[in-house]
Amino acid sequence: MVSEAMEKALNAQFNAELYSGYLYLAMAAYFEDNDYSGFAAWMRVQADEELEHGMKFYDYILRRGAKVNIEAIAKPETEWESPLAAFEQALSHERYVTSLINDLVALAREEKDFATDNFLQWFVEEQVEEEENAMENVSKLTLAGESKELLFKINEDMGTRTRGGSEE
């Protein structure tokens, strides 16, 4: 079993992962609306991944005999100034998620809940990759600057992302 505080924290993270998915779906829709189908496809893959992250928490909560709380998912932003602005927000969001995971690990260690600590290590590693991908996207778009040609090329390249690829 897990403590009451841990049950609450795991449920909060379940919700936060679903929110991440919702945020990336909002970005996908924004990109579709602005004819960047490659960026939209990339964000849809990212949104799928977040739902999977959420379900890892859902399953873990149940495995520990705790209760899954279904709460409202906050409304994300839906418009950005530019593709770069959206990807910059994705990066700052991933940094925030990393801080949430770190707080969870700290709580697990404080409570000597080593099973939960162990479960969370997958997310610790995943966040390194999430931040790495987000930083790479921001760098690419920053380098493209005002060049429509480069932006189009990056949009095309990123549209080839699939689940299970190197960026998962």
Q: Which residues bind to ligand FEO, rule: CB under 6 A? A: 17, 20, 50, 53, 94, 97, 130
Closer residue to ligand FEO (CB): 101 or 108: 101
Closer residue to ligand FEO (CB): 27 or 151: 27
Q: Which single residue brings its beta carbon nearest to ligand FEO? A: 53
Closer residue to ligand FEO (CB): 2 or 101: 101
CB 43 within 8 A of CB 83: no
Shortest distance (Å) from residue 108 CB to ligand FEO: 17
Closer residue to ligand FEO (CB): 45 or 97: 97
Q: What's the start-to-end Cα distance of the chain, in Å? A: 31
Shortest distance (Å) from residue 13 CB to ligand FEO: 9
Shortest distance (Å) from residue 94 CB to ligand FEO: 5
Give the span between the Cα atoms of 123 and 94, in whole angstroms. 12
CB 47 within 8 A of CB 25: yes
Shortest distance (Å) from residue 106 CB to ligand FEO: 18
The full DSSP string for 43-91 is: HHHHHHHHHHHHHHHHHHHHHTT------PPPPPP---SSHHHHHHHHH
